[in-house]
Structure 1
């Protein structure tokens, strides 16, 4: 988990298998059906079609949203806000959408479904403008209990979980352990936390070879050539700290394909409107109605669970975009208005001078 990684650097991330992709959306005409029990607590009748005879039509503050369709969306959002959790689940079930999650998640899911349907009527979505794949990466690194300030963290597990954004399924995985150089003997704390034994790292390749193997695996998937893709992590630390430090230890330049990534914590917080302390892996899973599947602090299991969160967010209508990058060795934010650009084809970085 990110909080564990923060503790390591300052002184490991994390349902049933990924849900099947949502069925084809219900015809837009179905959106005009009255919400089940929509006369909430004796209040006026509310329809999910933007037509509410008992409510004043809200006006948009931006000229960009002056189209009447946005007024319909705004009115519908008001109706959804007044629905109970049972009403929300019933309407989601009617549209064959996921019904698990806390009330705020259910509201966001229904709002985004309706908004997408209305906007598709206005202008079909360009399916070519988004990533074909997302590569979820969650490194595990050497650590000690109460890490001393001078302790240097080395990557000891390199996992990648490949998410197909069209099928919304985990398509494949890559995982290799890494032999540390500076601290080749794992601490008992690290072994107990990650489940990675001394034998596993003793028999593993050094980081440059493992990185080369990961690059070859990504090339076989035709990422960055035939298919567009982005890296996704649970927080900033995997790329800005662990990979950055490891490349310096291994005397190789930082790989160009990992210079931009999706920090799912930021994406989750912005999309579901929750504070940073509610974006820890286990909490995100819980709020989405899911349980952690596997062994906590296993890099591969953490990556799979992060992938499940990403899939659920995509199902809920979130467009996961690269929101962080490395520039000049420093962590920086990518503007939300920046165009969606896939990462370059993976290549093994050159040696440092």
Structure 2
């Protein structure tokens, strides 16, 4: 049975946002789901940023991630090795991976290159679920995750701007865009 991996990242930022090149991942959330969106397994881990180790007040307020969460975390190179080990047991069933928008894919590619990591995920097709949902619903422009859930008759479940909960909510929309 084919599976999909839905990934969401939280990253360092400040009010007004930073360019992707300035952002660092501070949390990885991933849910492995079947084509009906049912969760089969999940991964969540905080990541210690190295270039800007102190979270801005805006970032802490937005994500509800504390400085203590980050201070006790491992750097991305170690967290990614754990992620790859977790993913390894599921890789043979993976049809693709998805994220809400293209930020997560771009951020991961940037980090893989910066850290010179060979990721199995880089050889798996990526779906921009935000674009695919907009196309399936014939929308003029893509919606944010919360608005898309509401359009689909769903409510956001859990804490917004937390990686695993965002990934799980994104995964709820996956069956609406996959061909039967």
For residue 103 of structure 2, what is the aligned residue in structure 1? 237
CA RMSD of aligned residues (A): 2.1
Q: TM-score, normalised by structure 2?
A: 0.90
CA distance in 1, matches of 2:167, 2:111: 19
Whether 1:286 aligns to 2:155 is no
Conserved? CA contact 1:179–1:205, under 8 Å: yes
Mark the CA change 1:220 to 1:292 in structure 2 (over 3 Å): closer, same or farther.
same
CA contact (8 A) 1:136 1:233 kept: yes
Q: Does 1:295 align with 2:164?
A: no
**Structure 1: which 5+ residue stretches go unaligned?**
1-130, 321-353
Q: TM-score, normalised by structure 1?
A: 0.48
Flag the structure with higher strand content.
2
Q: Partner of 1:144 in structure 2?
A: 14
| 1:80-159 paired onto structure 2 within 5 Å | 132-147=2-17, 152-159=22-29
Larger Rg: 1
Q: What are the residue-to-residue correspondences of 1:1-353 with 2, within 5 Å?
A: 132-147=2-17, 152-165=22-35, 168-221=37-90, 223=91, 225=92, 227-240=93-106, 242-249=107-114, 251-253=115-117, 255-258=119-122, 260-277=125-142, 279-311=143-175, 313=176, 318-319=178-179
Deviation string for 1:280-309 (max 9, x for gaps)?
211110111111111111111111100111
Q: Distance in 1 between matches of 2:119 and 2:21?
A: 24
Counterpart Cα distance in 1 of 2:24 and 2:76: 9
| Secondary structure in structure 2 of the residue aligned to 1:196 | coil
Q: Could you say which structure has the greater relative contact order, defined with CA pairs below 8 angstroms and 6 or more residues apart?
A: 2
Q: State the shift of 1:252 in Å.
A: 1.4
Identify the residue that residue 65 of structure 1 maps to in structure 2: none
Q: 1:300 to 1:149 in 2, by over 3 A?
A: closer
Deviation string, structure 1 residues 298-326 (Cα, Å, up to 9, x no partner): 11111110011113x16xxx329xxxxxx
State the number of aligned residues.
179
Q: Indicate conservation of the 8 Å contact 1:239/1:258, yes or no.
A: no
